[in-house]
């Protein structure tokens, strides 16, 4: 591994260590603004490569009392960031999206579906794209949440275009730095209230 790759790997390990700690704190804390038990059937589906989206998904599922579903790839991306990025970029460019592991949830079991993933190249990461491609959201309220490093860019607009037959509610786009520092709780809380009230669909 050359010096640049080593530095990237070191940073990735640092980020994942921080994420594990953040998730542990999130799991140990029952948010005061819990909205669990409002009688809605909620699914929190998510894909995460480095753990930020996963941490938001776990907080959301605790707060809304939703069921967690992890979107997993049949053959996960390599741990090496450069190889992973090359593969994912080619998937986005060719539209040949990676197969997912196992059976996807039956949407008829839910009233509200929250779908999370990272922003990659200004848009939706391929495993989440694949999840959207394979899912018919007919009659469901659906909202996106995503973690980004710089800007969410076209994520929400692309999500609304890809979520088949969904009634799309406004999304939650959070910076990974806010997630790591636990400064996203306020935004998560007000977003949860908004989607729970079913406001939308949003014109994106």
Quick note: the x/- pattern for ligand FMN over 109-138, rule CB under 6 A, is ---------xxxxx----------------
Q: Kindly state whether residue 48 participates in binding ligand FMN, applying the rule CB under 6 A.
A: yes
With CB under 6 A as the rule, give the number of residues binding ligand FMN: 20
State the minimum distance, in angstroms, from the CB of residue 147 to ligand FMN. 4
State the minimum distance, in angstroms, from the CB of residue 112 to ligand FMN. 21
Q: Kindly state whether residue 104 participates in binding ligand FMN, applying the rule CB under 6 A.
A: no
Spell out where 99-186 has E strands. Answer: 112-120, 123-124, 141-148, 167-168, 172-175
State the minimum distance, in angstroms, from the CB of residue 9 to ligand FMN. 13
Spell out the long-range contacts of 149-158 with Cβ–Cβ below 8 A and sequence spacing 24 or more.
149/119, 149/175, 149/176, 149/177, 151/119, 151/122, 152/119, 153/119, 153/122, 153/123, 154/122, 154/123, 155/119, 155/122, 155/123, 155/124, 156/204, 157/204, 158/123, 158/124
Side-chain half-sphere CA neighbours of 167 within 13 A: 11
State the minimum distance, in angstroms, from the CB of residue 37 to ligand FMN. 28
Which of 78/139 has CB closer to ligand FMN? 78
Strand, coil or helix: 145: strand
State the minimum distance, in angstroms, from the CB of residue 144 to ligand FMN. 13
Q: Kindly state whether residue 177 participates in binding ligand FMN, applying the rule CB under 6 A.
A: no
- Binding residues for ligand FMN, per CB under 6 A? 48-54, 85, 88, 118-122, 147-151, 176
């Amino acid at each position: 591994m050359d010096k640049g790759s080593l530095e990237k790997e070191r940073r990735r390990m640092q980020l994942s260590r921080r994420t594990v700690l953040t998730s542990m704190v999130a799991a140990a804390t029952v948010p005061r603004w819990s909205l669990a038990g409002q009688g809605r059937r909620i699914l929190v589906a998510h894909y995460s490569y480095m753990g930020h989206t996963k941490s938001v998904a776990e907080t959301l599922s605790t707060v809304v009392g939703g069921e967690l579903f992890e979107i997993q790839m049949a053959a996960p991306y390599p741990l090496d960031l450069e190889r992973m990025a090359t593969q994912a970029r080619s998937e986005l460019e060719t539209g040949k999206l990676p197969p997912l592991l196992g059976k996807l949830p039956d949407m008829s079991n839910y009233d509200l579906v929250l779908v999370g993933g990272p922003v990659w190249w200004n848009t939706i990461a391929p495993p989440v794209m694949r999840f959207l491609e394979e899912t018919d959201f007919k009659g469901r309220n659906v909202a996106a949440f995503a973690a980004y490093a710089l800007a969410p860019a076209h994520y929400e607009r692309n999500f609304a275009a890809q979520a088949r037959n969904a009634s799309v509610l406004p999304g939650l786009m959070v910076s990974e730095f806010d997630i790591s520092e636990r400064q996203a709780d306020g935004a998560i809380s007000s977003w949860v209230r908004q989607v729970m009230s079913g406001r939308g669909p949003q014109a994106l």
